[in-house]
Amino acid sequence: MQVSEPSSNPERYAADNLLRLSCAELLLGMFVFELDCAWSKTPFPMGGFHLKNVEDIETLTKYCKHVVIDTNKGVQPRERRKDQLTILSSARRAAPESSSLKIDRNAYPVTRSIKQQIDKAHRVHLTLKADFAEQALAVRKGAKMDLPLLEKSMVGIIDSVIANPQTHIWLLNTDPADRTDTDYCVRAAIWAVVLARQVGLPTREIKILFMGTLLADIGLQLLPERLVNKRGPFRKKEFLAYRKHIDFGVELVSQISDLDDRVTAIINCHHERQDGLGFPRKLRGNQIPLLARFANLAYCFERLLRSNGEGPATPPAKALTKLYKQRALKFPEQLIVELIHVMGTYPVGSLITLSTGEVGLVLEQNLQERLSPKIAVLTDSGKDLLEGPVVVDLANQRKSKIDRSIVTSYRSQNSSKRLGDGRDLDPRNYSLSFFGKRVGIGPFSVRF
């Protein structure tokens, strides 16, 4: 391998993604590509590995003085990240800061496992999607909304998210149902609740946030379909017409008695941005109501996850990365950091590529080692589907003959190769798998 003359530290290889570092500069999450000693003299696997814990760095220091890292597969050095000044970073410095939000990650302890509540959570999710689609249709026909019809399902979803947010994260990332025109509103509302639970908002505020986020785009039902379903950028006149859905939404909910004013505020402000470039009033920073910021982030996240018929959907991990780049511009940095924290580096229900070339599905987060979740290995190194998934805990591989680590997200739609029975790899094929055998019927079923 040829090495270019280093102009600064860290030393740069001919390939821009390969950097030579001293072991003192190593960080968790880095991918070690090459050592300055023989691989056979170390306990590490040939071909590269991720630094998953402090012990890995300490052990590596005993054998090497320098290593080569691959920044395409892992964390970048602090100095390199600091030196990467971009238009985004300049805009970020110019954006107003929001007052710090008090975070209480321990406000709601996990009281149920995914296995214990997945079937009930799945049923209530389907019910809310159907009921909300019915309400949207009523609005299009000029009828009033029946919000009490939605409340039972909303309460059921909030209760299951508070008991264990990973249940709905899994369901949303593996949802096999065909998307309707209104499903994204339900999904965004659930993402907002997941974030609110992580932050520790009181349950009353979580209910208001759920309702406001769910209804945020209800005014779109009064716009022409050609405008709502348009692909690509709006023309100026089209955008001015599109903006009216906010006024329509506010007018619709104003007809409902005893509705909390904060629901209206969410509808009115869910397109505002932290830097003041949103609409309709170009509010900035603390001028934007707190719950509207949650809704804005939830819709931004859901928008990234949807393909809209314009190519493959973005994997959850990459969607979170894109959101993080927009911190302090569209929404406060504090909120996206908390969303990443609850979702995990690689969220449950997402496909990942392993260092072995295999493809896996993330099943369960590891709060102590974020880069080492429990996974189901779905393919061999040649991307051929296995006869049956192999469950592996990446944080505990002592008895395993194969040392695996996560390299990156796997975007299955990019693969032209069909697997097994003709399907491509898709998390939606495994929505209610891996959580035991279901026995019983409907609400009277249990899993073993």
Structure tokens at 294: 């949650």
The tens digit of pLDDT for each residue in 112-148 reads 999 999 999 999 999 999 999 999 999 999 999 999 9
How far is residue 159's CA from residue 117's CA, in Å, rounded to a whole number?
Answer: 10
Average pLDDT value for residue range 246-267: 95
Nearest to 147 by CA among 427, 155, 343, 40: 155
Q: Which CATH code is given to the segment(s) 114-343?
A: 1.10.3210.10
What average pLDDT does the structure give for the chain?
Answer: 86
Domain ranges of the chain: 11-83, 114-343, 351-443
How far is residue 113's CA from residue 118's CA, in Å, rounded to a whole number?
Answer: 8
At 266, the pLDDT band (50, 70, 90 cuts) reads very high
For tokens 């190593």, name the residue.
26
How far is residue 122's CA from residue 116's CA, in Å, rounded to a whole number?
Answer: 12
How many CB atoms are located within 10 Å of the residue 145 CB? 19
Sequence length of the chain is 448
Question: DSSP of 210-223, one letter per residue?
Answer: HHHHHHTTGGGGGS
> Cβ(207)–Cβ(147) under 8 Å?
no
How far is residue 263's CA from residue 191's CA, in Å, rounded to a whole number?
Answer: 17
Average pLDDT value for residue range 397-402: 81
How far is residue 70's CA from residue 356's CA, in Å, rounded to a whole number?
Answer: 16
pTM of the model: 0.82
Question: DSSP of 136-183, one letter per residue?
Answer: HHHHHTTPPP-THHHHHHHHHHHHHHHH-HHHHHHHHHS--SPP-TTH
> Cβ(54)–Cβ(78) under 8 Å?
no
